[in-house]
Amino acid sequence: MIKNDLFLRALKGETVDRPPVWMMRQAGRYLPDFMKLKEKYDFFTRCQTPELATEITVMPIKQIGTDAAILFSDILVIPQAMNIEVEMKNGVGPWLPNPIRTAADLNRVVVPDVADSLNYVMQAIDLTKQELNDEVPLIGFAGSPWTILCYCVQGQGSKNFDKAKEFCFTQPEAAHELLQRITDTTIAYLKLKVQHGVNAVQVFDSWGGMLSPVDYQEFSWKYIQQIVDALKPHTEVIVFGKGCWFALSDMAKSGAAALGVDWTCSARNARYLTGGNITLQGNFDPSRLFSPPATIKKMVKQMIDEFGKDKFVANLGHGILPNIPVPNAQAFVDAVKEY
């Protein structure tokens, strides 16, 4: 049994004394101990070395006391497993030297045996579960098929993912073939994570907000729905679509246990659009963690008042920024715990 099961109870919609709290990208970036490891080991070495991934995953649990751990990994381990080369370049971020631009390019894209190609992730889960010793739940995650496609086609991060959208709109058959292969791989990957003991999974649709509502249904949501359908018999599924407030009413009918909300959507609108019956997660502006701790605490209380303490997971509206002072992250967590 998980000793602190507050997060899992909130996902099930149970009445709680206070909301649980964790932060997207909490495993690293802003923690000094993480920065030391970053200086010694490159990004994918950290992802692919189970001992390092475990150490980084557990850091925020020990240092700032969040109510859930999220495995240190990256959404781009999926394309790597699918035979698409991914590097992490300093000052650039993700870099894919051979992007997918034509139907012919799909010939080199495989649906892998995830137990083999992503075995290092499973080893990290096994080690992390031992290290956590059932103190808090462990979250596994994956990127949405659309978000993965964005990187696979664009070849790097982008403000508008114009090449990815052009690919979808000029070669829709190839785009849907790639999306389906990513979906099939992601389902197998998340199911295996559950078998290895993660207590919930989150699907990150980081670039869903790049699409119009109509295109979102075609190129993103129907693939996320496949993932939810496949995983919900096995675990609690959280769906987070950044900039996707327009899809919240559809998401609420998906069977997901909870929906992430970014900071551009108010608590009132999020509750209204989702019918008020599903657990919501969010939505503190990550940049607001630059505010003085006293201001952070006041704003967090206000956020919880607006969402309500039940059917709510306190989180940021996107990942924590690398240059946030640790005391400010601590103030965010403490404010929720003091509610």
Q: Is residue 147 one of the residues assigned to a domain?
A: yes
Burial of 319 (0-12, 13-18, 19+ CB in 10 A): middle
Binding-site positions: 25-29, 44, 74, 151, 206, 318
Question: Which of the pair, 140 or 91, is modelled with greater confidence?
Answer: 140
Terminal CA-CA length for the chain: 25
Question: Which of the pair, 20 or 29, is modelled with greater confidence?
Answer: 20
- List of residues 6+ apart from 78 with CB closer than 8 A: 142, 143, 148, 182, 185, 186, 189
Q: What is the pLDDT confidence band of residue 138, given thresholds at 50, 70 and 90?
A: very high
Q: What is the pLDDT of residue 90?
A: 86
Q: By C-alpha distance, which of 297, 2, 275 is closest to 133?
A: 2
Domain count, the chain: 1
Please state whether the predicted TM-score (pTM) of the whole model is above 0.95: yes
What residues make up the domain containing 315?
A: 6-337
Q: Is residue 1 one of the residues assigned to a domain?
A: no
- The answer on pLDDT for 104 being more than 90 is yes
Q: By C-alpha distance, which of 198, 176, 44, 181 is closest to 114?
A: 181
- Which whole number is the average pLDDT over 1-17? 97
Distance CA(141)–CA(281), nearest Å, equals: 15
Distance CA(176)–CA(88), nearest Å, equals: 26
- The 10s digit of each residue's pLDDT in 164-213 is 999 999 999 999 999 999 999 999 999 999 999 999 999 999 999 999 99
Radius of gyration for the alpha carbons in the chain, expressed in angstroms and rounded:
19
Q: Is residue 289 one of the residues assigned to a domain?
A: yes
Q: Which residues pair with 261 in a beta bridge?
A: 282
- The answer on pLDDT for 17 being more than 90 is yes
- The answer on pLDDT for 162 being more than 90 is yes
- The 10s digit of each residue's pLDDT in 34-52 is 999 999 999 999 999 999 9
Q: Is residue 282 one of the residues assigned to a domain?
A: yes
Q: Is residue 13 one of the residues assigned to a domain?
A: yes
Q: What is the CATH number of the domain that holds 210?
A: 3.20.20.210
Q: Which residues pair with 94 in a beta bridge?
A: 88
Q: What is the pLDDT of residue 208?
A: 98
CB atoms within 10 A of CB 327: 12
Distance CA(64)–CA(154), nearest Å, equals: 36
- Which whole number is the average pLDDT over 127-149? 98
Q: Is residue 28 one of the residues assigned to a domain?
A: yes
Binding-site positions for substrate: 25-29, 44, 74, 151, 206, 318
Q: What is the pLDDT of residue 29?
A: 85
Q: Is residue 186 one of the residues assigned to a domain?
A: yes
Q: What is the pLDDT of residue 255?
A: 98
Distance CA(204)–CA(180), nearest Å, equals: 17
- The answer on pLDDT for 59 being more than 90 is yes
Q: By C-alpha distance, which of 208, 156, 193, 217 is closest to 70?
A: 193
- The 10s digit of each residue's pLDDT in 244-275 is 999 999 999 999 999 999 999 999 999 999 99
For 70, phi then psi, to 5°, come to -125, 130
Longest dimension (CA), the chain: 56
- Which whole number is the average pLDDT over 62-67? 97
